Structure 1
Amino acid sequence: MIDSIEIDGVPAVVHFDAGAGLFRGEITLPRGSADFFAPDLPSLREEGRVSLRVLREALARL
């Protein structure tokens, strides 16, 4: 399954990895990207927020 969700206004591609039993999300911005994983969608959204914040902080230092 491949789908998308919004993390703080930023789209993220999501799919379920049946082998690992985890959801995987990916945020792509013009200058970088971040992957995040969680066992359920509420946790995935939270991990996505953390990943987006870290990605934005890293890009701001470039």
Structure 2
Amino acid sequence: MNLLEYKGYLGSVEAAIEDGILFGKLEFISALISYEGETVKALQTAFEAAVDDYLASCEAKGYEPELPCKGSFNVRVGHDLHLAAMLKAKELGISLNDFVRQTLNQALPLSH
């Protein structure tokens, strides 16, 4: 997956072959912020400008800008898996939240 990154924001990279342009949008926030360019360098520049414009707009309006992936999410896993996870967490003497966090850290080690 190709993503642009700038100031903690991530942006998609798509191509409109028939129009000869690259385009994308900020990912993992609800605001629709898009950008486009004719080259990869132009797309990166447009992406960074879109992030800067978004942050400036939020500041001007007194809004807190959305952060990609706020750090919490709800997962529907079904009764049996939920119960099994609760039992395992209890066996380990930790909360369900800590069990899920540890399991995700093992499955998806972060590079930074």
Q: Which TM-score band (shorter chain)? A: 0.7 to 0.9
Q: Which has the higher strand share?
A: 1
The gaps in structure 1 that reach 5 residues or longer are none
Q: C-alpha distance in 2, partners of 1:48/1:59?
A: 17
**TM-fit CA distance, 1:31:** 5.4
Q: What TM-score, normalized to structure 1?
A: 0.78
**Structure 2 equivalent of residue 51 of structure 1:** 50
Which one has the largest radius of gyration? 2
**TM-fit CA distance, 1:55:** 0.8
The gaps in structure 2 that reach 5 residues or longer are 64-112
**Structure 1 equivalent of residue 6 of structure 2:** 7
Identity %: 10
**Structure 2 equivalent of residue 19 of structure 1:** 18
**TM-fit CA distance, 1:29:** 6.0
Q: Once superposed, what is the RMSD of the aligned Cα atoms?
A: 2.0
Q: Which has the higher contact order (CA 8 A, sep 6+)?
A: 1
Q: What TM-score, normalized to structure 2?
A: 0.47
Q: Quick check: 6-15 or 24-33, which moved more?
A: 24-33
Q: Aligned residues, how many?
A: 61
Q: C-alpha distance in 1, partners of 2:52/2:28?
A: 12
Q: C-alpha distance in 2, partners of 1:27/1:3?
A: 13
Letter in 2 for 1:23: L
